[in-house]
Amino acid sequence: MKGSDSINSNKNNEPLQAIIIKYTIAFSGVKKFFFILVCILLILNLGCQPRVKKEVQLNDLGVGELTKNELSKELERLASEVLVVPKNADFDNSTWEVTPESQGKHADINTTMEKIMSADEGEKIELIIVHDNPEISMNSVKNAISTIGSFSTSILNREQNRVHNIKIAAEKINYTVISPGEEFSFNGALGKRTEGKGYEPAPIIINKENGPEDAYGVGGGICQISSTLFNAVDNAGLTVTEKHPHSKDVGYVPMGRDATVVYNGADFKFVNNRKYPIMIRISVSSSKVTIWIIENRNIKI
């Protein structure tokens, strides 16, 4: 419509009221009706869209003379750039090592918009950032993971192959999780001790007709792990279902507090009689074996 083209161009910068009067006179009939309707809607639209005052800045972004709708879109864009979702503290499913929580942040769009719309000409407004705390803290996760029993033994015989075997057995059992009601078997966890698995000949005790004798066997030394584990388990109040003593004093635990193991023979077994999962943690140094029984109350069974 030619009249419409003239209105849009408005090269002479005529006042809007003058343009409306001019073309209302020029048009007639249906054209006049639709022209007046368009003008009314235009006036209402202009009246309902408050604008930001001139030269107002949001951070370093010029937002002067934007309508409220235009400003809203700009704020939503900026908000998406600064958004960081808070992360709860958690624990590794394999090791139960705890990872800390981290704060999040989001832009307060509504409050920032109110400040901008009421800002004076040339005023600078900063985007309002709100920091969000996670729901679960590292302390709350850590407090639900606790040691319920532990025990240490000294490595008296530090023969190289024996210490090597102790470390292999410890690595195999370390981080083992036992669910409530589940039975742990030392022989079941380690399997047959073979050179193919890295075990080496080391001192062992064997029973002969005339009594116990010192000898060498593949996997010698691992009874120090089973004996240390028995004492940690006993200190935790767990139910021992199988345990056998050595035929002679081993030295690193008091008499009767040891637990010998032989594949396809004597085993050490216990049951987790608690409501939550437990984990076996083992540390082996050059002079000491330490075993902890850890309970994780973060895990619901």
Nearest to 246 by CA among 232, 257, 233: 257
**Coil, helix or strand for 149?**
strand
**Length of the chain measured in residues:** 301
pLDDT tens per residue, range 165-176: 999 999 999 999
Q: Are 280 and 295 in contact (CB under 8 A)?
A: no
81, pLDDT greater than 80:
yes
Q: What is the pLDDT of residue 48?
A: 56
Residue 10 pLDDT exceeds 50:
no
Question: pLDDT tens across 54-69, in order?
Answer: 999 999 899 998 999 9
Tell me whether strands 57-58 and 124-125 are parallel, antiparallel or unpaired: parallel
Closest CA to 221 of 239, 242, 205, 243: 205
Per-domain boundaries in the chain? 2-48, 57-140, 146-296
Cβ contact 182:188 at 8 Å: no
